[in-house]
Amino acid sequence: MQLTASQTDAVTELINIGYARAAGALSDLTGHRIVLQVPRVAIHPIQEVATVLSADLQGEVASVHQVFSGPVAGNALLLMDQAGARMLNDLLTNETSLNNSLDGGAREVLTEVGNIVLNACLGVFGNLLHVQVSFAVPRLHVDSIETVLNSITVNSVELQYALTIQTKFFIRQGNVSGYLVIILGITSLSALLRELESWEKRQLEF
């Protein structure tokens, strides 16, 4: 399954709205102007996602994982490599990491960033597509991409597709790349595409 050009544009527009809200919340939280860029949106079968992400994310990754439920249900993740995660923490806190690991403070910062970004984006999907979305508490993990994805999909035959949104945080004089990944089953993906079509029609009426 592939997104049409129209569907890609619609998803990108919704994500941009979510990112604008997330950037505003992060800017208020940190006192720094923060911009999130959405350069590329694509959909992939779940078995191809690790290969796609590995082109930009090597080694262990920091992932903030949040389960969401409702008419459109699945798993949402914000992923970045450990170097990027440390840099993001340093840029947000005005501190410099003293080692290569993510300590408790850095993990709290990254979990909160993931919580803000994921809630903003999924909230926009819910509000503009007129569907009710409920969120679980976000969790941060540091592991390989394969392990992260397997932990989500190992007991579910329903989860078949992943919507990948490559992103970049611009903070002060630095930038950090990462991915927002929304993993959906075929039922939820079909519902999302139907709601996108309805939303596009409503937009044309104005």
More confident site: 100 or 120? 120
Lowest mean pLDDT among 41-50, 58-67, 84-93, 155-164: 155-164
Domain covering 5-205 assigned CATH 3.40.980.10 in the classification = no
pLDDT digits (tens, 9 = 90+) for 68-110: 988 888 899 999 998 889 888 888 888 777 666 788 888 999 9
Instruction: Identify which has the larger pLDDT, 154 or 193.
Output: 193
Residue 177 to residues 50, 135, 153, 156, 168, Cα–Cα distance (Å): 16, 25, 25, 29, 4
Mean pLDDT for all residues in the chain: 86
d(CA 187, CA 72): 8
**Cα within 13 Å of Cα(190), Cβ side:** 6
CA distance 18 to 95: 28
